[in-house]
Amino acid sequence: MQLPIDLRSDTVTRPSPAMRAAMAAAEVGDDVFGDDPTVLHLEAHVAELLGKEAAIYVPSGTMSNQIGIRLHCQAGDEFLCEANCHILCYEQGAYAQLFGIAARSIEGEYGVLQVEQLLGRIQPENDHCVRTRLVCLENTHNRGAGRIQPYDAVAEICGWAADNGLARHLDGARLFNAVVASGISAADWASHFDTVSVCFSKGLGAPVGSALCGPADLIRRARRHRKVLGGGMRQAGIIAAGALYALEHNIERLAEDHANARILADAIRNTPGLRLDPEVIDTNILIFEVDPELGTAASFVARLRDEGVWTNATAPQRIRAVTHLDVSSEQVKQAAAIISETAKSLVELVG
């Protein structure tokens, strides 16, 4: 049986035989007691990569982001963020549910904000108002089709925030995609933020986990927040070894995923009834619209699935496809042909 070409997300990656071997051989301890050597190695390594003093390993990017927000905000505080960011759209409003923190969103251009949009957004010191304490950015931007934040805009926004006494947190779930595509180091990107979350279980291909990086005093506090959220793990070195392997072997190869995304994008550009939105593909995510005359995104996704290509409908007429290490360039070419042929057959039916 031929396996499907799974483009639903880069979260579907599975550990390679070499990664599994590293995990099986991992030396372990009890991470809650702070003596799992593999977890300690991972935390030190990722902190060094990002130019931060310390890091903490957590089960998920959502937990990492929420701990980051909690470190900078208390109940009655708010943070500023882009209107389509992951923290706002895909984390159940956990900052409000769990911590009594509010969010103020600003619409960007495919996830990209400019500093001018933030001017005047800080609440005055007034008993009637929430307290503005934090700015959150996301790089790359998931709902912006993997858009890389312009480096100069990041520096300007974070400089403005620091000048106004606001903390800065980066949701860098796919930060290494931005690193590879831009040529700007992870440490340079991270230098503008107090805390940075990075994910190991997306394009890097590890099965589990994210890390929150920042100053040592904040990361010590983060351990307390991790515990109350249920994120304290015991012999976590088994999964941390997968993350370590990913950092050591799978960063530079992200360029292959970016090249494969461009193959898909070229096919979609040249297919009647389909339209890329946005047109520019920065990394490994693309979003395209299906002409209503061809049916809904859900029906188009169902047709593709019947042909062995798995994608996601994200809106009535919008589909998301993501390239990753478990999909070869040859498979991507096959998927591109199937997407194009499926659309063309529908055009003929309605023509």
Report the pLDDT value the prediction gives residue 3, as an integer from 0 to 100: 77
Q: Which of 205, 197, 186, 196 is nearest to 243 (CA)?
A: 205
**10 assigned to some structural domain:** no
Query: Each residue of 310-349: pLDDT tens digit?
Result: 999 999 999 999 999 999 999 999 999 999 999 999 988 8
Strand, coil or helix: 277: coil
Look at phi and psi of residue 230 and say left if phi exceeds 0, alpha if psi is from -120 to 50, else beta. Answer: left
Can the peptide bond before residue 311 be classed as cis, meaning omega within 30 degrees of 0? no
Are residues 245 and 257 both part of a single domain? no
CA–CA gap between residue 330 and residue 206 (Å, rounded): 23
102: Cα separation from own chain's centroid:
22
What's the CATH number where 139 sits? 3.40.640.10
How many beta carbons lie within 10 A of that of residue 210, not counting itself? Answer: 28
Contact 31, 345 (CB under 8 A): no
Are residues 76 and 206 both part of a single domain? yes
Q: Which residue has the tokens 């100069």?
A: 152
**7 assigned to some structural domain:** no
pTM > 0.85: yes or no: yes
Report the pLDDT value the prediction gives residue 1, as an integer from 0 to 100: 44
Are residues 89 and 190 both part of a single domain? yes
How many beta carbons lie within 10 A of that of residue 242, not counting itself? Answer: 26
> How much of the chain is in helix, strand and coil states, percent to nearest 5?
45, 20, 35
What's the CATH number where 311 sits? 3.90.1150.10
Strand boundaries in 173-290, DSSP class E: 195-199, 210-214, 274-276, 285-290
Final residue of a structural domain among 226, 249, 272: 249
**77 assigned to some structural domain:** yes
The residues of the chain scoring below 50 in pLDDT are 1
Q: Which residue has the tokens 């959220």?
A: 229
Are residues 203 and 275 both part of a single domain? no
Are residues 244 and 257 both part of a single domain? no
Strands 195-199 and 167-172: parallel
Report the pLDDT value the prediction gives residue 348, as an integer from 0 to 100: 84
CA–CA gap between residue 316 and residue 295 (Å, rounded): 9
Strand, coil or helix: 230: coil
Bridge partners (DSSP) listed for residue 287: 320
Are residues 179 and 75 both part of a single domain? yes
Q: Which of 7, 69, 53 is nearest to 257 (CA)?
A: 7
Range of the domain at 238: 15-249
Are residues 293 and 196 both part of a single domain? no
Final residue of a structural domain among 210, 230, 249: 249
- Quote the number of domains for the chain: 2
CA–CA gap between residue 257 and residue 89 (Å, rounded): 25
Contact 242, 19 (CB under 8 A): yes
Tell whether the torsion through CA atoms of 3, 5, 7 and 10 is positive or negative: positive
Query: Each residue of 142-181: pLDDT tens digit?
Result: 999 999 999 999 999 999 999 999 999 999 999 999 999 9
Q: Which residue has the tokens 């796919």?
A: 174
**341 assigned to some structural domain:** yes
Can the peptide bond before residue 140 be classed as cis, meaning omega within 30 degrees of 0? yes
104: Cα separation from own chain's centroid:
20
Are residues 231 and 92 both part of a single domain? yes
Strand, coil or helix: 100: coil
Contact 214, 54 (CB under 8 A): yes
